[in-house]
Amino acid sequence: MSAQISQKHPTGLYVLFFAEMWERFSYYGMRAILLLFLLDAVRGGMGMNAGEAAAIYGLYTASVYLLTLPGGWLADNILGQKKAIWYGGIVIMLGHIILAIPGGSMLFFLGLTTVAVGTGLLKPNISSIVGELYPEGGARRDAAFSIFYMGINLGSFLGIAIVGYLGERVSWHMGFGAAAIGMLLGLIVFRYGSARYLQGMGDVPPARIDTAESNAQKGANKRLGYLFIGALVVLLIVLQTSGVLDMTTAQGLAKGAGIIIVIISASYFLFILFAGGLTRVEQHRVVVLIILFLAIALFWAGYEQAGTSLQIFAERHTQRVIGGWEVPSSWFQNFQPTFVLLFAPVLASLWIYLSSKNLNPSIPVKFAAGLILLGLSFFVMVAASNIAVTGQLASPLFLTFTYFLHTIGELCVSPVGLSSYTKLAPKRYVSQLMGIWFVGASLGNLIAGIFAGGFDEENIMQMPALFNQVAIVTTVFGFILLIFWKPIKGWMGGIS
């Protein structure tokens, strides 16, 4: 009996589950119709071309995850996680309300920015408070994260189904309004649930408790930070004035953002590697973190095309009529969360079974598998687009199979990725490196956006070649990881 009780999860987990479920409902629901809205010129959308629309989409989705860095910082230093989640949720809801008002592009961009800021505040903190419920760590914490991941995907499923349908079939703004209502429900759950079941958690900003870092050290780090930001600004000015980038266009801005993200991540890694006072073993582990960062960014760059190039493919080139009814194209994005819900338990049991035989694949092997599956999925899209370029509609089975491969890949990299990141990180850098994990997602989303700019209506002949590029790059990276998995595992220094 007592064993059974200790297996039970605290009610607080379910508060976080439902709050995050509704937040993801609003995020993925809105995202499912975002590109369609940007492209649409007949139903009151923005009427943009593919290049511009995809760049804005990429900038938005990248900002959402990049803003988790200041969001995490605010919670750690000023607000505490609970307030950060609460205010973040309110800001997200306001953003969706702004989007729900039919207005000009100014209002629209204000709405998008507001949602991004709010998500930056909510997302990292709701994930870290899950961990806090299980201070002892271990298998129960891992199980809690799997349950939480289910909440994320249940929310995306419902959001894509409802917001997608309303947006495509009723009106875009009605869709955005539904996203706002979803977030409101999340806020209600969080307000009442956290008061009762998350007492004493996430109230005090951790930085107020932890005084290990001396004030002199803090001052030095601050100065270094300002210097770094100054250097970035100078670089951007040079790029703009020399004509290398034109950041007055969406595409130019997206590329500028890409450069910033790459420089921030590279400098951060170099800084902790050489100036972080690491032991030899820790340095090796950081090298592994860099490899995993590149792998995860590349993975999301392909995976997140669900909202960009694959969304365009579903809308324009896929046979979607079933029994006389045309399935909304945004619903195809629902294959990813559906497959997660179906296959997460299967993969979890597979890892347990393999562990019992001492055959559980190491982290680099799982990442390799994820990338190779992703690569294969894009070879499927090469075949589908070869049909589309003849002017025929491709069978929906192509996208279904593509998303199946995506999801199995996701289940190899995403759940183990975050936990291995926290395990491999030198202790005093754990929360910063968790932030870097989100930066990987940010970079991937940005690339997924910029890349889809090539999917213009006028240029459909280049589709197979574009999909082929993604397929080759990801497969090759996957095989490189597979070849070198043993030395990489060696550098992990006994962590698996």
Binding-site ranges for ligand PHE (CB under 6 A):
24, 65, 152, 414, 438, 441
**Least distance CB 304 / ligand PHE (angstroms):** 9
Nearer CB in complex with ligand PHE: 194/407: 407
Nearer CB in complex with ligand PHE: 152/376: 152
**Least distance CB 21 / ligand PHE (angstroms):** 11
Nearer CB in complex with ligand PHE: 74/418: 418
Nearer CB in complex with ligand PHE: 261/394: 261
In Å, how far from its chain's centre is CA 492? Answer: 25
Find, among 27, 326, 58, 348, the residue nearest to 157 by Cα. 27
Tell me which H or E stretch contains 321. Answer: strand 321-322
Find, among 87, 28, 131, 29, the residue nearest to 422 by Cα. 131
Q: Which residues contact 265 (CB under 8 A, 6 or more apart)?
A: 293, 436, 439, 440, 443
268/49 Cα distance (integer angstroms): 36
Nearer CB in complex with ligand PHE: 99/126: 126
Nearer CB in complex with ligand PHE: 111/337: 337
Q: What angle do CA 414, 300, 177 make, to 5 degrees?
A: 95
Under a CB-based contact definition with an 8 Å cutoff, are residues 366 and 410 in contact?
no
Nearer CB in complex with ligand PHE: 45/88: 88
- Residue 469 tokens read as 């590029």
Query: Beta-carbon neighbour count of residue 20 at 10 Å?
Result: 26
**Least distance CB 152 / ligand PHE (angstroms):** 5
**Least distance CB 472 / ligand PHE (angstroms):** 24
At 325, is the secondary structure helix, strand, or coil? strand
**Least distance CB 7 / ligand PHE (angstroms):** 25
- Residue 280 tokens read as 């030899």
Give φ, ψ of 133 to 5 degrees.
-65, -20
- Residue 108 tokens read as 């629209």
Nearer CB in complex with ligand PHE: 97/418: 418
Residue nearest to ligand PHE (CB): 441
Find, among 21, 63, 43, the residue nearest to 174 by Cα. 43
Q: Angle of helix 430-452 relative to helix 309-317, nearest 10 degrees?
A: 40
- Bin 323: left if φ > 0, else alpha if -120 < ψ < 50, else beta: left
**Least distance CB 418 / ligand PHE (angstroms):** 7
**Least distance CB 12 / ligand PHE (angstroms):** 19
**Least distance CB 70 / ligand PHE (angstroms):** 16
